[in-house]
Amino acid sequence: MRLDPKVAAWAIAGATAIASPIVASWEGKSNDPYTDIVGVRTVCYGETRVEMRRYTDAECLAMLNKAVAEFANQVLQCTPILANHPYQLAAATSLAYNIGVGAYCRSTVDRLFDAGDLKGACDQFARWRMAGGAVVQGLVNRRKAEAELCRTGL
C-alpha cells in the first residue's frame, strides 16, 4: 500500500507529538553517555546511533524529536494502516524506538495491525518485556503504558 505523502507527513507529525513525551519519560535522559542494561552505549533519551559525547538539554530534545519522527516514518512503512490511527502509531513508534524497527516489523504487533486487528495488536505489546534474557519490570511497566495508549480511541 502506497501512502499519500501528505497523509504520511500528517501521521508522522501527530505520532511524534504524542510519542516524544512518552518515549522521553520511559527512556529517561542522560546528557553524558552511559552503558544501558544490556551493555549498549547510550546517550540522551536512549539514543544509540550518534556520537557518544556530552550533549546539552536542547541537543537531547532535538535529537529525541528527530529520532521519534524517523521511527514513526519507518513504522508507517511497515504498517501503513496506522496512518489514520495516531494513538496506535504513537504506541507502535515507542515500541519500535525501544526494540528496533526490524524487530517491530517482524512482530506479531505489526502483523495484527496489518490484519486490521488493532485491539489484538495492542494486547501483544506485553510480550516485549525482556532484556538480556530476563524480564525487566521497567519494560513490563512501559509495555503496559504503551498498550493503554494503543487502546486510546478503540
Chain centroid offset of residue 143 CA: 11
Nearest CA to 68 out of 93, 45, 34, 91 is that of 93
Establish whether 110 is a catalytic residue. no
Helix (H) or strand (E) holding 134: strand 134-135
HSE-up (13 A, CA, CB side) for residue 83 = 16
Q: Of residues 27, 47, 110, 146, which has the active-site annotation? A: 27
Q: Of residues 4, 36, 123, 148, which has the active-site annotation? A: 36
Name the pTM for this structure: 0.95
Interval 93-138: pLDDT, tens: 999 999 999 999 999 999 999 999 999 999 999 999 999 999 999 9
Interval 54-101: pLDDT, tens: 999 999 999 999 999 999 999 999 999 999 999 999 999 999 999 999
Chain centroid offset of residue 79 CA: 13
Establish whether 36 is a catalytic residue. yes
